[in-house]
Chains A and B, each alone.
Chain A
């Protein structure tokens, strides 16, 4: 089936994969909002939402429905086109990163293998990085177009925070790339399955990367763009209805995707720990399903850590945030890089 020299079956396969990944991201993000409120409840010795359905499991549906049916207000003084563009950009950039993540071991069928990854490109991890670097625009455009001073200040804060924390993130990444020797996500996972997880070789790099991921997702203790006590409501103050929902939702999808990236880079991705799964002699699709489940378990753990940190640690002051990023994390990441280089030279790898 060829038209315009495109393999249409290939397009169909990828379209199904993309649709299911987007659906999965929305589903997980929905239930992360519930998990957030439940965990907050437990940590503060109360029940959390428990009215909609058993244990409150329909609460995210109720919240989503409420956001859809609320009145939509676009301020008169706002820049209309950019005001509409902002939430869409935030959503797109948070979803695009998931294209290069390998979600499970490739499924081997009689007609060839189907990788559970939308695009296994040569630049894998750099694509994640480039999408993170343009993720700033959703916040900046939304904050500026609202024509509100609080929104603008929050947007500027958010953007400068994200630009600052990209640097240590990149430097921590370089050390991972040294040990793997490839930018392909599939090869990063394969090398960890063979030689052990990167978190063992790169504990400092992992901590730096994790802190930067918190900052890039605008999560506590780095949620300065949404500092209610200083900025009313932050960059999405003028937004209402589902446009506000998009901004709030994009944060949870960001959390999900960055948990997936952390698991892939430092915790072996879909690799099943402590066992040699190839020796089990299982059906390939079953093995793929198990490896997908293992990745999901790792992601769920990191989502819990994200929530745990939010309800434990208070927010940083703005100068503390900048000091931590520029004066502590960047030198630490540089030291980490140099140590990795020296050890690799010493071991003559």
Chain B
């Protein structure tokens, strides 16, 4: 067992354990904190694949910004065990079925992969595709059209947020 296998095992156990804790926690604040732990474990996996930029951006954007907003909302609304709405049994069943379908799709996609072929291996602790220079070059040459389209999507989402945020003020002025 070498060091990379050891790290991979530790990170995988951490990721699965914290994801389970996220789902089973009764207190939403704990759920958010466990989700942050999950993001860190996943970032560790990215680093094992030498995708350093992805790992850091995952922490900056998800753990550092989006989860802060989640915590904001939960703390301000003071959600806790008592206020958690009790969902009925059918809804729980529907959730289980939906999750099972996702699992089915993942298994179906991965079952034909030939684990003997070298091109199907993930490059562990090697490969330069994940470094910022190569990633930037790929994004701005090979994948420039999808990249620009997704940036337009972000721009429209931003404008939408500004419009939604402003609407309330105009209504207040009209009253």
What is the distance, in angstroms, from B158's C-beta to the closest C-beta of chain A? 12
Q: Does B2 contact A (CB under 8 A)?
A: yes
Q: Does A126 contact B (CB under 8 A)?
A: yes
What chain B residues lie within 8 Å of A159 (beta carbons)?
68, 71-72
Pairwise interchain contact A140-B53, C-beta atoms closer than 8 A: no
What chain B residues lie within 8 Å of A123 (beta carbons)?
52-53, 55-56, 132
What is the distance, in angstroms, from B43's C-beta to the closest C-beta of chain A? 9
In the complex, residue of chain A having the shortest beta-carbon distance to the beta carbon of B55: A123
Whole-angstrom distance between the alpha carbons of A326 and B151 in the complex? Answer: 21
Question: Out of A4, A79, A160, A183, which one reaches B72, CB within 8 Å?
Answer: A160
Pairwise interchain contact A4-B52, C-beta atoms closer than 8 A: no
Q: Does A1 contact B (CB under 8 A)?
A: no
Q: Mark interface residues in B132-153 (1 if CB within 8 Å of A CB, else 0).
A: 1000000000000000000000
- Give the size of the chain A interface in residues (CB under 8 angstroms): 27
Among listed A34-42, A128-136, A201-209, interface-contacting one = A128-136
Q: Mark interface residues in A1-32 (1 if CB within 8 Å of B CB, else 0).
A: 00011100000000000000000000000000
Q: Mark interface residues in A63-81 (1 if CB within 8 Å of B CB, else 0).
A: 0000000000000000100
What is the distance, in angstroms, from B83's C-beta to the closest C-beta of chain A? 15
Whole-angstrom distance between the alpha carbons of A126 and B72 in the complex? Answer: 24
Pairwise interchain contact B132-A122, C-beta atoms closer than 8 A: yes
Q: Does A84 contact B (CB under 8 A)?
A: no
Pairwise interchain contact A4-B3, C-beta atoms closer than 8 A: yes
Q: Does A249 contact B (CB under 8 A)?
A: no
Question: Out of A133, A152, A156, which one reaches B64, CB within 8 Å?
Answer: A133
What chain A residues lie within 8 Å of B75 (beta carbons)?
140, 144, 152, 155-156
What chain A residues lie within 8 Å of B71 (beta carbons)?
137, 140, 144, 159
What chain B residues lie within 8 Å of A199 (beta carbons)?
none
What is the distance, in angstroms, from A250's C-beta to the closest C-beta of chain B? 17
Q: Does B6 contact A (CB under 8 A)?
A: yes
Pairwise interchain contact B68-A144, C-beta atoms closer than 8 A: no
Q: Mark interface residues in B39-59 (1 if CB within 8 Å of A CB, else 0).
A: 000000000000011011101
Q: Does A289 contact B (CB under 8 A)?
A: no
What is the distance, in angstroms, from A177's C-beta to the closest C-beta of chain B? 10
What chain B residues lie within 8 Å of A130 (beta carbons)?
56, 59-60, 63-64
B binding-site residues for A, Cβ under 8 Å: 2-3, 6, 29, 33, 36, 52-53, 55-57, 59-60, 63-65, 68-69, 71-72, 75-76, 131-132
Can you offer 21 A-B residue contacts whose CB atoms are under 8 A?
Answer: A4-B2, A4-B6, A5-B2, A5-B3, A82-B29, A122-B131, A123-B52, A123-B53, A126-B53, A129-B60, A130-B56, A130-B60, A134-B59, A137-B71, A140-B68, A140-B71, A144-B29, A144-B75, A152-B75, A156-B72, A163-B68
A binding-site residues for B, Cβ under 8 Å: 4-6, 79, 82, 121-123, 126-127, 129-130, 133-134, 136-137, 140-141, 144, 152, 155-156, 159-160, 163, 166, 183
Give the 5 A-B residue pairs with the shortest CB-CB distance, closest first. Answer: A133-B64, A130-B59, A126-B56, A130-B60, A123-B52
